[in-house]
Amino acid sequence: MKVTEHINQAKDTLISFEILPPLKGKSIESIYDHLDPLMEFKPSYINVTYHRSEHMFKKRADGSFDKVEIRKRPGTVGICAAIMNHYSIDAVPHLICGGFSKEETENALIDLSFLGIDNVLVLRGDAPKNETFFEAHPNGHRYALELLNQVVHMNNGIYLEEDLQGGLKTKFCIGVAGYPEKHFEAPNLQTDLGYLKRKVEGGADYIVTQMFFDNKKFFDFVNRCREAGITVPIIPGLKPLTTKKQLTVLPRTFHVDMPDELAEEALKCKTDKEVEVVGTEWLIQQSKELKAAGVPVLHYYTLGKPHVIHKVVSTIR
């Protein structure tokens, strides 16, 4: 079932979770171990992120360098199929531009269609950690909008290969990303919103936001979207603060602000266990306020912290 169908049929705010594929070599059991405790909340769907592999350069004895793959998280499509089969619940695979040719994307979409997966979250992806700027694949896409156009074309039965006939088994429901605190490369929020609007006009059915720790930023963003004529559902993306290190890592990595009050409380903590308590309480308050404001879905980035998300959701539901 499509994310928008879940939203349209809902009587109350829905719950969804987002997971990362495990590192190469781990089994699907690690996904089930992660998700099992959260299933009692009957999430409407589970997102599975997509990652290009990362490389580093290792010096050889002769002084030259070897490009070595250091982290790989394959399996988004397979994990989505396993989740749907194991839990009878919808899965939302992320699709990214980075590292993929149009043909590879087409093949991934055909696989998803065969598997009966109705949803995709369409993203650009970031530059690999050791590179400064995002580079498109020579036969790939530069912006999420271009990838979205490819999905929309396939929804309309248009393939890259002319000899392929007919449409996909399913017409994908398409989500895109939005940034309450602006995407870090955009010159300003208004320009960023202009590009977001183009994604919606291009066929995006809903928006999921980057994490934020100050609900006012989300509410302001929604107001600005509505003023700009963006009418699709906007789903808040939520993550708990769980370590002191994240006070600097999260702003640096995701370009989000930490509210004074949260930062002050976390800085007073002596251990990360205490920070986790502070972060959990903060997320509970954020979630309660968003739910009271009638957001369509509370979307939690679980990222290795299912017990925290469990505590939050069991408190607010």
Backbone phi, psi, residue 70, to 5°: -105, -35
Distance CA 10, CA 7 (A): 5
Contacting residue, 2, 6, 34, 51, with ligand FAD by CB under 6 A: 51
Between 156 and 190, CB nearer to ligand FAD: 190
Nearest approach, Cβ of 155 to ligand FAD (angstroms)?
18
Q: Which region, left, alpha or beta, applies to residue 303 given φ > 0 means left and ψ of -120 to 50 means alpha?
A: left
Count of residues binding ligand FAD (CB under 6 A)?
21
Does position 195 bind ligand FAD by CB under 6 A?
A: yes
Q: Name the minimum Å distance from CB 100 to ligand FAD.
A: 11
In terms of Cα–Cα distance, which of 152, 78, 99 is closest to 122?
152
The answer to whether residue 73 forms part of the interface with ligand FAD (CB under 6 A) is: no
**Residue 84 vs 145, nearer CB to ligand FAD:** 145
Of 172 and 278, the one with the shorter C-beta distance to ligand FAD is: 172
**Which amino acid, 305?**
K
Residue 185 binding ligand FAD, by CB under 6 A: yes
Distance CA 54, CA 190 (A): 33
- 217 binding ligand FAD? (CB under 6 A): no
Q: Binding marks (x or -) toward ligand FAD, 113..142, rule CB under 6 A? A: ----------xxxx----------------
How far, in Å, CA of 199 to CA of 147, rounded?
10
Is residue 213 involved in binding ligand FAD (CB under 6 A)?
Answer: no
Site string for ligand FAD, 252-291 (x = CB under 6 A): ----------------------------------------
Binding site for ligand FAD (CB under 6 A): 49-51, 94, 96, 123-126, 143-145, 177, 183, 185-186, 192, 195, 208, 210, 237
